[in-house]
Amino acid sequence: MIVRTAPAALTSLHFRVSFYPKKTSPRDFSFSVIAPNGLSIVQAEGQLSAELNYDVQSVVNIASKPLLLPEHGAYSMRFGLGKKENEVDVGRFMVRKPANDEENNRLPK
């Protein structure tokens, strides 16, 4: 994600996590996004659907509105079933400045 300055405010950012639940998997989940400074900027908890199909890919959608990205760098996404302590790293995204004038010109004024 390219932003001119940090902190950067977004009206919304949506996350999608896919996983394969087992019949023994807990029904509750937690999700978090960790900023480069180690602070959690998104925290979500919920219950998986009652119609969950086991041993088949399942998807959880999380929307964060609004969202403040405090600095440039690598952000970590974490997801877990059951207790929050079960969260594992499921992805990363980068927030950076434009690398050149062409990138800078593509950004909204």
Burial class (CB in 10 A: 0-12, 13-18, 19+), 76: middle
Tell me: the pLDDT tens digits for 4-45? 999 999 999 999 999 888 888 888 999 999 999 999 999 999
Angstrom distance (rounded) from CA 20 to CA 64 = 24
Angstrom distance (rounded) from CA 68 to CA 83 = 26
Burial class (CB in 10 A: 0-12, 13-18, 19+), 67: middle
Tell me: the pLDDT tens digits for 49-80? 777 777 788 889 999 999 999 999 999 999 99
CA-closest candidate to residue 61, choices 15, 12, 10: 15
Q: Which two three-digit tokens encode residue 14? A: 């949506």
What is the architecture, at CATH level 2, of domain 11-106? Sandwich (2.60)
Enter the pTM of the model: 0.88
Are 31 and 78 in contact, with CB atoms under 8 Å apart? yes
